[in-house]
Amino acid sequence: MTKPSSPSSHNRALNTSGCHDESSPDSYQDSHRESYQEPGAQSLQPVAIAHTPFKEKFAIPRQPRLASAARAEIRLIPPFDSPLALQGLEQVSHVWLLFQFHQTLTSADAPRLRVRPPRLGGNDKIGVFASRATHRPNNIGQSVVALEQIDGCSLWVRGVDLLDGTPIIDIKPYVPYADQISDAVNHIAAAEPDLLSVDWQPQAQQAALQQQQRLQQPVVELIEQCLAQDPKPAYQKPAPERIYGVQLWDLNIRWHYPQPDRICVLQVEPVEP
C-alpha cells in the first residue's frame, strides 16, 4: 500500500484519474433459531475494501481515532468504482465506515447474547448490544475516520481500526450538527483508557526509522500509539521474559513488559518471504 504524497485535510480535491459459540446460557436455544433466521433476509454487497497496516486482529486499536497514525486506503470495487459515487465528498472532513467483521466467526444457530468487552477486563459479561464487541448478530461494525484525500476511486483516511482486507458495506458523510452529541453519556466507557509508556531498544528504534523511510509510512508513531493502548488481554499479567508480537504492514514487531505499566519494543524487522 503506497500512501499519496503529503495528504492534507485541506486538500480533498476530486481526482478522477486512474479509476477503473458453543451452546451456553448466553446463546439462543433451538426454539429461537427459526425467528433469528428470518426468511428473505437480504445479503449485503461490499462497496469497497479497506487496505490498512493491520495484518492481524491483535493490537488493532479497540476504537477508531485512537491511533491517528493508522492511515488506510478505502478502495471502491465494482460496480461502485466510479468518481460519480464520490462526487461532493470532497466537502467533508470525516466519514462513517460501515463494515463487516469478516474474520469473526458468529454462529447463526447460537448467536451470542452476552460478550466480554476488553474494557471490563475480559472476564465480566454485558449484553451484546451494550458493547462494540466484534461478535455481533450480523458481524457489522462502524467507525468514524478522518478523510484526508480522494484519489480516483480511493479514499485515504486516518484513525482506522480495521483489519487489512475488511469489506466496507457503506460510506456515509459525518454530519457534525446531527452526529455530535455534547451531553452523551456512557458509564461503561466514560473516558479513554489510560496509556502505557512505550520505550525502545536502540536497535529496534533505528530499524523502525529505516523501515519508515522505505514504506513512507509513520512506522514509529503507529507502533507507539498501538502499543500504548496495551493490546494484550486485560486479565493477563505478563512476566518480563514473555515476548509479544504482531505484524504491521510487512514488518514483525516484538515487545515485552519490563514492568506492568511499561512496554519496551525489542525488534522491528521485515517479514520473511
pLDDT in tens, 60-69: 998 999 999 9
Residue 199 exposed, middle or buried by CB count within 10 Å (0-12, 13-18, 19+): middle
Cell readout for 150 is: 480522494
Cell readout for 97 is: 465506515
In angstroms, how far apart are the furthest CA atoms of the chain? Answer: 60
Nearest to 149 by CA among 141, 140, 158: 158
Which residue ranges make up each domain of the chain? 30-179, 197-270
Nearest to 150 by CA among 212, 65, 85, 63: 85
Residue type, 146: A
DSSP letter string, 203-248: HHHHHHHHHHHHHTS-HHHHHHHHHHT--S-TT----TT--EEEEE
Q: How many residues does the chain have?
A: 273
List Cβ neighbours of 269 (8 Å cut-off, separation of 6 or more): 207, 251, 252
Nearest to 264 by CA among 249, 250, 243, 247: 243
pLDDT attached to residue 27: 45
CA distance 107 to 139: 10
CA atoms within 13 A on the CB side of 105: 2
pLDDT attached to residue 143: 97
Task: Name the fold adopted by 30-179.
Answer: Elongation Factor Tu (Ef-tu); domain 3 (2.40.30)
Q: In what order do the strands lie in the sheet with 197-200?
A: 197-200, 262-270, 251-259, 244-248
The string of pLDDT tens digits covering residues 48-85 is: 999 999 999 999 998 999 999 999 999 999 999 999 99
CA distance 94 to 97: 10
Residues of the chain with pLDDT under 50: 2-11, 13, 16, 21-25, 27-37
Nearest to 9 by CA among 123, 149, 103: 149
CATH number of 197-270: 3.30.2310
pLDDT attached to residue 105: 65
CA distance 187 to 252: 37
